[in-house]
Amino acid sequence: MTQASSVQPPRVAVWLLDLFTPYEQTESIPGDLLEEFSDVAAKSGVAYARRWYWRQSVRTVFHLVRSGFRVAPWSIAGAVVGGVLLVQLGHAFTEGGIRTWNEFLSHHVHRVSHFDLFLMNSGMYLWRLTVSMLIGCIIALACKSREMLATITVSLVCSIQAVTGFWTFLHGWSPPLPIVLVGALYSFGGLFAMLIGCGIVRKYRFRSLRPDIVGPN
Amino acid sequence: MSSRDYLGEFEHIVVLALLRLSDQAYGVTVRQEIEVRTGRAVSIGAIYATLGRLETKGYVNSYLGDPTPERGGRSKRFFRVTAKGVAAVNRTHRALRSMTEGLRLARSY
């Protein structure tokens, strides 16, 4: 084995590419890039080859996203509308749960320590993240092959609401940095949880599918 | 005959690359052929997006080859131009010839 062929492309770029590559092209696109990467590394050096791989990956992801919207616009639009509704519903339930729990505490428990409050808030936050992750899984299950594209679009649409919420939280007072970080985590954590949920579904689907090898007619 | 029967500019280039490469047409070779002959830097993503479109239209078909170690055990996807694709190339050529006939293209504007 030559030195060039033992060199691996940048892991983050490979991961990024894997996220967006449709199942029918999981053999061809990463394989083609790896093959050319080895050639470029042998001819022009590893550093150049890594930069080349990054450029190719980013441009390829751009084309995959564009062609995804072009090939399946209605299924993505449906997933986005359904996903945003699910997010609203999920968060309404979570907020309702938090409110009910707080009312229960204020009526039935007379002394609540700071530690108890911390545990309750953390629990509620974890619940919110779990709901978001489940929504990500549902979107991914509904949108075969283009699941990451659909989930990212839902996340971007929901991020408008998250940014507005975060800005409202910060508006009118200047909280200390830890509070800002907690606020950011609360506002944006759900979006990342949704993407993680989608990533989990994609990973398991990817493992279960075997590409059908069709010979020349 | 509808306007869809003509190939777009990049589709045209990709189909011509497939015809030139014959049995050796897959992502890497198509990309390199286009870069060498046109001097235009293209990404694998652009090639596959176009090939996917052409396959949907029935102008090309594809099949997977055997997995190879230099590709991390992944297979090559070979592409071939169908009879419908060749007809589309001919139609596009005829249209271009007809449109350029009598024009003095060397004239500078």
Phi, psi of A126 (to 5 degrees): -65, -40
> Is A213 within 8 Å of B75 when comparing Cβ atoms?
yes
- Tell me the pLDDT of chain A averaged across its residues: 81
Instruction: Show which of A35, A70, A105 is a domain's final residue.
Output: A70
A217 belongs to a structural domain: no
Q: Assess whether A103 and A189 both reside in one domain.
A: yes
Closest residue in A to B43 (Cα–Cα): A56
Residue A172 confidence (pLDDT):
73
> Is A5 within 8 Å of B70 when comparing Cβ atoms?
yes
Instruction: Show which of A29, A54, A70 is a domain's final residue.
Output: A70
Residue B92 confidence (pLDDT):
93
Number of neighbouring beta carbons within 10 Å of residue A19 = 19
Residues of A in contact with B46 (CB under 8 A): 59-60, 63
Rounded-to-integer distance, Cα A115 and Cα A23, Å:
47
Number of domains in chain A: 2
Amino acid at A26: T
Q: Assess whether A100 and A49 both reside in one domain.
A: no
A101 belongs to a structural domain: yes
pLDDT, mean of residues B62-84: 89
pLDDT, mean of residues B86-103: 90
pLDDT, mean of residues B75-95: 93
Concatenated DSSP letters of A52-67: HHHHHHHHHHHHHHHH
Rounded-to-integer distance, Cα A40 and Cα A52, Å:
8
Q: Assess whether A82 and A180 both reside in one domain.
A: yes
B27 contact A CB<8A: yes
Per-residue pLDDT for A209 more than 70? no
Per-residue pLDDT for B1 more than 70? no
Lowest mean pLDDT: which of A57-71, A152-166, A201-215? A201-215
**Whose CA is closest to B19, among B82, B77, B62, B63?**
B82
Residues of A at the B interface (Cβ-Cβ below 8 Å)?
Answer: 5, 25-36, 38, 55-56, 59-64, 66-67, 71, 211, 213-217
Exposure pattern of A55-89 as b/e (b: 16+ CB <10 Å)? Answer: ebbebbbebbbebbeebbeebbeebbebbbebbee
Q: Assess whether A79 and A66 both reside in one domain.
A: no
Residues of B in contact with A33 (CB under 8 A): 44
B44 contact A CB<8A: yes
Per-residue pLDDT for A3 more than 80? no
pLDDT, mean of residues A165-192: 78
Rounded-to-integer distance, Cα A141 and Cα A4, Å:
39
Q: Over the stretch B3-58, which tens digit does the pLDDT of each residue have? A: 558 899 999 999 999 999 999 999 999 999 999 999 988 999 999 999 999 999 99
B26 contact A CB<8A: yes
pLDDT, mean of residues A39-65: 92
Q: Assess whether A64 and A107 both reside in one domain.
A: no
A214 belongs to a structural domain: no
A216 belongs to a structural domain: no
> Is B52 within 8 Å of A67 when comparing Cβ atoms?
yes
Q: How many CA atoms lie within 13 A of B43 on its CB side?
A: 19
Lowest mean pLDDT: which of A12-26, A72-86, A91-105, B28-42? A91-105
Q: Assess whether A133 and A41 both reside in one domain.
A: no
ipTM of the complex: 0.85
- Are A8 and A33 in contact by the 8 Å Cβ rule? The answer is no
- Parent domain of A110: 72-208
Q: Assess whether A100 and A38 both reside in one domain.
A: no
Residue B44 confidence (pLDDT):
92
Rounded-to-integer distance, Cα A129 and Cα A125, Å:
6
Q: Assess whether A41 and A128 both reside in one domain.
A: no
Owner of token pair 């409050």: A117
- Best A20, A29, A32, A213 member to test B by mutation, with max B CBs in 10 Å, is A32
Instruction: Show which of A27, A55, A70 is a domain's final residue.
Output: A70
pLDDT, mean of residues A159-164: 81
Contacts of A73-79 with C-beta under 8 Å, sequence gap 24+, read: A75/A143, A75/A146, A75/A150, A76/A143, A76/A146, A76/A149, A76/A150, A76/A153, A78/A142, A79/A139, A79/A142, A79/A143, A79/A150, A79/A151, A79/A153, A79/A154
> Is B70 within 8 Å of A35 when comparing Cβ atoms?
yes
Residues of A in contact with B52 (CB under 8 A): 67, 71
A130 belongs to a structural domain: yes
As a whole number of Å, the CA-based R_g of chain B is 16
Closest residue in B to A212 (Cα–Cα): B64
Q: Assess whether A84 and A135 both reside in one domain.
A: yes
Residue A216 confidence (pLDDT):
37
Residue B43 gets the label, from left (phi > 0), alpha (psi -120 to 50) or beta, of beta
Number of neighbouring beta carbons within 10 Å of residue A123 = 12
Strand partners, B74: B68
B95 contact A CB<8A: no
User: Would you place residue A1 in the very low, low, confident or very high pLDDT band (cuts 50, 70, 90)?
Assistant: very low
B10 contact A CB<8A: no
A215 belongs to a structural domain: no
Residue A210 confidence (pLDDT):
52
Q: Assess whether A121 and A201 both reside in one domain.
A: yes
Architecture of domain B3-97: Orthogonal Bundle (1.10)
A30 belongs to a structural domain: yes
Q: Assess whether A66 and A159 both reside in one domain.
A: no
Give whichever of A77-86, A120-129, B29-38 has the largest mean pLDDT: B29-38
Residue A214 confidence (pLDDT):
39
Q: Over the stretch A106-121, which tens digit does the pLDDT of each residue have? A: 777 667 677 777 777 7
A60 belongs to a structural domain: yes
Q: How many helices (H) and strands (E) does chain B have?
A: 4, 2
Largest CA distance in chain A: 78
Residue A213 confidence (pLDDT):
36
Per-residue pLDDT for A215 more than 80? no
What share of chain A has pLDDT > 70, as a percent?
90
Q: Assess whether A195 and A129 both reside in one domain.
A: yes
- Best B24, B40, B44 member to test A by mutation, with max A CBs in 10 Å, is B44
Residues of B in contact with A55 (CB under 8 A): 43
